[in-house]
């Protein structure tokens, strides 16, 4: 099987960097695309070649099918990797890439379309015997939804058929609120997805989000690479993920894994994808025999943000396998040969202010120093001097911790987040540390409502931000080693590794 020699990465930020890393290890040339706002970005510097794709707004650059394909043609790339977000789950794009004679590193347009319509996907799963959340997806009008809600029983969740990114979702507690929620959701769905269609699900109050990674080749082999638990969410968006899930035992894992494989097969799925399930912990574990307890939510027909934790525990490189599968290689292992070893956790690092409604924080990154330790991986799209702008998602990096046990992985993550230096914009690293510290999280009991229940508002404990900024400014103007000045400014913090007088950093202090 011949691999492509040149791949265009139709994305930006940490995922573009991640994909280029895989290409480099495989000896494949990389082409970056960039908008005007990204001309000096890390992914542009890292690529072998970089081509401008349009102005700053995503709709005219990273989201423009025409511009991306034109650029790919010009570059002579034989394949396009879409990453996640942007055009990754757009069937029209996948088809256009193929029509241009370029390999799309992902599933077929037909599989993307089948799973992209959640109402249709539910019906398909039901026909295939994959358990779905009790609900209703055959609505022509709101009156049908209102009748269905009475049958399902409240609380219900209003969802968009074309939905994604946690948008246009409304929990409705009583019939009195349903019509208003439907009106709002129609509006939001039309705005966000250009498709106002809605469906209903029973709202599972104390839910756990547990998903299964799928890899399927073009030769009929479909495998799962175990689960990722993503229950730590804010507004239906994941912020911390881990594997293995503290909730699953071997029996439930095997059952859910088999259902995930069945779901992927139902659409003839090829390449990497994820089957998301919602799990009702009461019926899944506490009352055996009282129900399956797990239900299909949706399939994400792409590489997922949290894929690194699966890579850590399985030892497989998912991006490299995506490229190999797209080139027609067959998977050289079967389900029984795959194992989970150790425990991995990922935290999403956002340029946002967790103490002020999580508003995005924009500005220049004055200093970035990534944590380094055995078992720590940082997937980042930024470096010192980069601009965080309003144009794109504020997720700038991911920290992944890998250790023998869950407790050790949590401790490792705490230390790494503490050591992560990101000066110039506000980030959520302190917020994440407080979340990891919460006993409900340590006990492995957190549900998808954990953040709203325990962190409805949040304030950082020690406010030494000002002193750190002063240090950075000092470093800039004096040419003094930044680590040294930060240590001086921060010596009041007994846990600050930069302030320690021992040989923590060779050549500094002692």
By the criterion CB under 6 A, which residues form the site for ligand ADP?
84-85, 133, 157, 163-166, 192, 201-204, 207, 209, 233, 236-238, 276, 278, 297-298, 300, 304-306, 393, 448
How far is residue 248's CA from residue 500's CA, in Å, rounded to a whole number? 41
Cβ–Cβ < 8 Å for 210, 256: yes
Closer residue to ligand ADP, CB minimum distance, 167 or 367: 167
- Site residues for Mg ion, 271-300, by CB under 5 A, read 276
Residue 68's φ and ψ, nearest 5 degrees, are -65, -45
The entry of Mg ion, ligand ADP, none near residue 472 (CB within 5 to 8 angstroms by kind) is none
The least distance separating ligand ADP from the CB of residue 165, rounded to whole angstroms, comes to 3
Closer residue to Mg ion, CB minimum distance, 79 or 264: 264
The entry of ligand ADP, Mg ion, none near residue 320 (CB within 5 to 8 angstroms by kind) is none
Closer residue to Mg ion, CB minimum distance, 241 or 276: 276
Q: Taking phi first (over 0 means left), then psi (-120 to 50 degrees means alpha), and beta for anything else, what does residue 262 get?
A: alpha
Question: Could you tell me which residues come within 8 angstroms of residue 106 by beta carbon, excluding any fewer than 6 positions away?
Answer: 81, 82, 88, 94, 112, 271, 272, 301, 302, 322, 326
The least distance separating ligand ADP from the CB of residue 207, rounded to whole angstroms, comes to 4
Length of the chain: 510
Q: Taking phi first (over 0 means left), then psi (-120 to 50 degrees means alpha), and beta for anything else, what does residue 218 get?
A: alpha
Q: Residue 6 is inside which H or E element, if any?
A: strand 6-9
Q: Do the strands 198-202 and 135-136 form a parallel or antiparallel pair, or are they unpaired?
A: antiparallel
The least distance separating ligand ADP from the CB of residue 487, rounded to whole angstroms, comes to 35
Cβ–Cβ < 8 Å for 367, 471: no
Cβ–Cβ < 8 Å for 82, 271: no
* End-to-end alpha carbon distance in the chain: 55
The entry of Mg ion, ligand ADP, none near residue 209 (CB within 5 to 8 angstroms by kind) is ligand ADP
Cβ–Cβ < 8 Å for 398, 305: yes
- Nearest residue by C-beta to Mg ion? 276
Cβ–Cβ < 8 Å for 28, 80: no
The least distance separating ligand ADP from the CB of residue 15, rounded to whole angstroms, comes to 9
Cβ–Cβ < 8 Å for 448, 425: no
Cis omega (within 30 of 0) for bond into 244: yes
The entry of ligand ADP, Mg ion, none near residue 87 (CB within 5 to 8 angstroms by kind) is none
The least distance separating ligand ADP from the CB of residue 194, rounded to whole angstroms, comes to 11
The least distance separating Mg ion from the CB of residue 301, rounded to whole angstroms, comes to 11
The entry of Mg ion, ligand ADP, none near residue 20 (CB within 5 to 8 angstroms by kind) is none
Closer residue to ligand ADP, CB minimum distance, 201 or 430: 201
Task: Give me the residues paired with residue 398 across strands.
Answer: 348, 379
Closer residue to ligand ADP, CB minimum distance, 16 or 423: 16
Which range, of 22-30, 35-43, 270-278, 427-435, touches Mg ion by CB under 5 A? Answer: 270-278
The entry of ligand ADP, Mg ion, none near residue 375 (CB within 5 to 8 angstroms by kind) is none
The least distance separating ligand ADP from the CB of residue 210, rounded to whole angstroms, comes to 9
- Nearest residue by C-beta to ligand ADP? 164
Closer residue to ligand ADP, CB minimum distance, 253 or 398: 398
- Site residues for Mg ion, 15-44, by CB under 5 A, read none
Alpha carbon separation from 300 to 116, 277, 485 (Å, rounded): 8, 11, 45
How far is residue 301's CA from residue 113's CA, in Å, rounded to a whole number? 9
The least distance separating ligand ADP from the CB of residue 314, rounded to whole angstroms, comes to 17
The entry of Mg ion, ligand ADP, none near residue 278 (CB within 5 to 8 angstroms by kind) is ligand ADP
Closer residue to ligand ADP, CB minimum distance, 79 or 297: 297
- Site residues for Mg ion, 127-166, by CB under 5 A, read none
Question: Could you tell me which residues come within 8 angstroms of residue 458 by beta carbon, excluding any fewer than 6 positions away?
Answer: 354, 355, 431, 434
**Site pattern 37..76 for Mg ion (x: CB under 5 A):** ----------------------------------------
Residue 295's φ and ψ, nearest 5 degrees, are -140, 140
Closer residue to Mg ion, CB minimum distance, 171 or 470: 171
How much is the CA Rg of the chain, to the nearest whole Å? 23
The entry of ligand ADP, Mg ion, none near residue 356 (CB within 5 to 8 angstroms by kind) is none
Task: Dig out the tokens for 414 from the structure.
Answer: 């705490």
Question: Could you tell me which residues come within 8 angstroms of residue 193 by beta carbon, excluding any fewer than 6 positions away?
Answer: 160, 162, 163, 164, 167, 168
Which sequence positions are flagged as catalytic? 302
Question: Which residue ranges make up the site for Mg ion (CB under 5 A)?
Answer: 276
């Amino acid at each position: 099987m011949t691999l492509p020699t040149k791949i265009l990465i139709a994305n930006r930020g940490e995922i573009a960097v991640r994909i280029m890393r895989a290409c480099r290890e495989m000896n494949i040339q990389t082409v970056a695309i960039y908008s005007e706002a990204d001309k000096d970005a890390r992914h542009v510097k890292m690529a072998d070649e970089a081509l401008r794709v349009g102005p700053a707004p995503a709709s005219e650059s990273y989201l423009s099918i025409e511009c991306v394909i034109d650029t790919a043609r010009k570059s002579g790339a034989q394949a396009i990797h879409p990453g996640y977000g942007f055009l990754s789950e757009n069937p029209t794009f996948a088809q256009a890439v193929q029509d241009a004679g370029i390999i799309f590193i992902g599933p077929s347009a037909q599989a993307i379309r089948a799973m992209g319509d959640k109402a249709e996907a539910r019906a398909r799963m039901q026909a295939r015997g994959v358990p779905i959340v009790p609900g209703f997806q055959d609505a022509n009008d709101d009156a049908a939804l209102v009748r269905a809600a009475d049958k399902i029983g409240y609380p219900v969740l209003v969802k968009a058929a074309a939905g994604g990114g946690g948008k246009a979702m409304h929990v409705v507690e009583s019939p009195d609120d349903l019509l208003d929620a439907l009106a709002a959701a129609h509006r939001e769905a039309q705005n966000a997805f250009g498709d106002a269609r809605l469906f209903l699900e029973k709202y599972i109050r104390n839910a756990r989000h547990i998903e299964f990674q799928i890899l399927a080749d073009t030769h009929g082999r479909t495998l799962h690479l175990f689960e990722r638990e993503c229950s730590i969410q804010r507004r239906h968006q994941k912020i911390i993920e881990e594997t293995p899930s503290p909730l699953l035992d071997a029996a439930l894992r095997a059952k859910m894994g088999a259902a995930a494989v069945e779901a992927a097969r139902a659409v003839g799925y090829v390449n990497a994808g994820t089957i998301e399930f919602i799990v009702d912990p009461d019926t899944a574990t506490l009352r055996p025999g009282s129900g399956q307890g797990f239900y299909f939510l949706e399939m994400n027909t792409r590489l997922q943000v949290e894929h690194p934790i699966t890579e850590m525990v399985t030892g497989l490189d998912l991006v490299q396998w995506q490229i190999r599968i797209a080139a027609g290689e067959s998977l050289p292992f079967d389900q029984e040969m795959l194992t989970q070893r150790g425990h991995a956790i990922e935290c999403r690092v956002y340029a946002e202010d967790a103490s002020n409604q999580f508003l995005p924080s924009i500005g220049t990154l004055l200093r970035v120093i990534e944590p380094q330790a055995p078992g720590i991986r940082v997937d980042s799209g930024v470096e010192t001097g980069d601009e965080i702008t309003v144009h794109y998602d504020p997720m700038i990096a991911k920290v992944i911790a890998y250790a023998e046990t869950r407790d050790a992985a949590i401790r490792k993550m705490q230390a790494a987040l503490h050591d992560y230096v990101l000066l110039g914009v506000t980030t959520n690293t302190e917020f994440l540390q407080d979340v990891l510290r919460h006993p409900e999280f340590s006990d492995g009991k957190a549900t998808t409502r954990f953040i709203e229940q325990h962190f409805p508002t949040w304030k950082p404990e020690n406010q030494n931000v000002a002193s750190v900024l002063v240090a950075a400014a000092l470093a800039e103007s004096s040419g003094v080693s930044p680590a040294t000045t930060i240590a001086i400014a921060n010596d009041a913090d007994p846990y600050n590794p930069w302030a320690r007088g021992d040989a923590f950093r060779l050549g500094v202090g002692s």
